[in-house]
Amino acid sequence: MPPALLFKTIGVISRPRRANLSVVVPALLKWLAEHGLRVVYDEETACALPAPASGLSRDQVAAQSDLLLVLGGDGTLLAAARVAAPRGIPILPINMGSLGFLTSFTVDELYPALEETLAGRSSVSERVMLQVELLRGGSPVDQQHVLNDAVINKSSLARMIELELLIDGDFVCRYRSDGLVVATPTGSTAYSLSAGGPILHPAVEAFVITPICPHTLSDRPVVVRDFSCIEVKLASNAESAFVTLDGQKGVPMAEHDRIRITRSPQCLKLIQPPKKSYFEILRNKLKWGEV
Q: Which residues, in sequence order, are bridge partners of residue 223? A: 208
pLDDT in tens, 196-245: 999 999 999 999 999 999 988 889 999 999 999 999 998 866 557 889 99
Average pLDDT score over residue span 189-195? 95
**What is the count of structural domains for the chain?**
2
Residue 287: CB partners within 8 Å, gap ≥ 6? none
Judge if pTM exceeds 0.75: yes
**What residues are labeled active site?**
74
Same domain as 248, residue 199: yes
Same domain as 179, residue 218: yes
Same domain as 195, residue 98: no
What's the Cα-to-Cα distance from 290 to each of 45, 188, 284, 285, 287, rounded to whole Å?
36, 22, 10, 11, 6
CATH code of the domain in which 156 resides: 2.60.200.30
Same domain as 230, residue 147: yes
CATH code of the domain in which 45 resides: 3.40.50.10330
Residue-number span of the structural domain to which 23 is assigned: 4-122+274-286
Q: Does position 3 have pLDDT exceeding 60, yes or no?
A: no
Same domain as 63, residue 146: no
In a domain, 180, yes or no: yes
Same domain as 200, residue 152: yes
Same domain as 193, residue 109: no
| Closest C-alpha among 169, 291, 180, 170 to residue 235 | 180
pLDDT in tens, 56-76: 999 999 999 999 999 998 999
In a domain, 291, yes or no: no
Give per-residue burial for 117-126: e unless 16+ CB within 10 Å, then b: bbeeebebbe
Same domain as 43, residue 73: yes
Same domain as 107, residue 160: no
d(CA 117, CA 101): 20
Same domain as 114, residue 156: no
DSSP β-ladder status, 38-41 and 9-14: parallel
CA angle 186-192-196, nearest 5°?
Answer: 130
Q: CB-side exposure of 203: number of CA atoms within 13 Å?
A: 5
